[in-house]
Amino acid sequence: MTVFLNPNAWQPAPPRLIETAPILEVKGIQKRYGDIQAVANVDMSVYPGEIMGIVGESGSGKSTLLRMLHLEEPADAGSYKLNIDGWQDRELLQLDRFEQRKLRVSHIGIVYQHPHLGLRMHNTSSGNVAERLLVAGERTYSTLRQAAVSSLAASEFPLQRMDDLPRHLSGGMQQRVQLAKAIAMEPALLLLDEPTSGLDVSVQARVLDTLKSLQQQQKISTVLVSHDLGVIRTLADRVMVMRGGHVIEAGLTDQILEDPQEAYTQQLVHAKL
């Protein structure tokens, strides 16, 4: 029972068929808030086009890890690299504010659990999507409109409402706007923090469908955080189980969910299914 607290108990193994280099590589990343070790010495890698799931109970450090991957929260220690043109071999945790923003704007998209964190509620939905391009320097109005339309369409947002304020939209539609915003710059990395948790089951299913088809079409490498094993099972290729800031188990989704090795994961799987 002591094994699961040992961060080195497992080594992340790539799916056998993938032979390319990982697009995301994190080693020994850590974050402490006062007495709380939110993320402790986590290693992870994501391969091009795959969806990496992260499950774990509340407070296990999933969102904190994601915020660090989004470079919006500084890490205490560790290394973080993205295999993207122009950024290879750069230690991303050492970038200055300006470079972090540059990288984030053009290569990383994020969807938060709460639309308030990801959307400007007083701007139109299309404006929220256009913002990404504007921040990246696009200054042609017609291009912005087209980009908003195509991103919103890709996230299956009803286009006749593209100029409504997000606060006049349903929760599911708000998540679709967030998704459209996240993919507007065709990012290399998509971070999803519980994208469907606030939604009722049928809406959740439809948003998941969108995510799945989008992912299949565009092959964006994705990190998906969820405490819902159903969501992970539907979408993720591989999964990491987190507890108390540590990764206690990782592997192919089917393997982990069908045959969990750690006692904690067994509990999690049985409680859910």
Partner 1 sequence: MQTLASLKKSSDAYSFGFLDAFAKRELRRKILKAVAIPGYQVPYASREMPIARGWGTGGLQATLALAGPSSKVKVIDQGSDDSVNAANLRRFIARMTGCDATRDTLECTILQSRHRCPEERLKRGQVLVLQVPDPETLRSVEPNMTRARLMHADQDYGLMWLKLYEQLVRFGRFVQGASYPSLVNGRYVMSPSPIPRWDVPTLHQAQHLTILSAGREKRIYAVPPFTRVEPLEFTDEFFQVEEQSDWTCDRTGQRYKFMNEIPETDGTARHEISDTGYADKLIQKKEGEAVTLGETYYDDNGTFYHDGFLKS
Ligand X SMILES: Nc1ncnc2c1ncn2[C@@H]1O[C@H](COP(=O)(O)OP(=O)(O)OP(=O)(O)O)[C@@H](O)[C@H]1O
Q: What are phi and psi of 206, to 5 degrees?
A: -70, -40
Question: What is the separation, in whole angstroms, between the first and last Cα of the chain?
Answer: 23
Closest by CA to 46, choosing from 75, 81, 70, 74, is: 81
| Identity of the residue, 14 or 198, whose beta carbon is nearer to Mg ion in the bound complex | 198
Closest by CA to 132, choosing from 117, 121, 147, 142, is: 147
Query: Which of Mg ion, partner 1, ligand X, none has residue 151 at its interface (CB below 5 to 8 Å by kind)?
Result: none
Query: Which of ligand X, partner 1, Mg ion, none has residue 163 at its interface (CB below 5 to 8 Å by kind)?
Result: partner 1
Written as six digits, the tokens of 252 are 């192919």
Looking at 33-41, 128-136, 144-152, 172-180, which segment touches ligand X (CB under 6 A)? 33-41
Closest by CA to 226, choosing from 131, 111, 117, is: 111
Least Å distance, CB 138 to ligand X, is 33
Closest by CA to 179, choosing from 202, 159, 153, is: 153
Residues 25 to 64 in contact with Mg ion, rule: CB under 5 A? 63
Least Å distance, CB 35 to ligand X, is 9
- Tell which one of 63, 126, 175, 196 touches partner 1 (CB under 8 A): 126
Residues 201 to 230 in contact with ligand X, rule: CB under 6 A? 227
| Identity of the residue, 57 or 138, whose beta carbon is nearer to ligand X in the bound complex | 57
Footprint on this chain of Mg ion (rule: CB under 5 A):
63
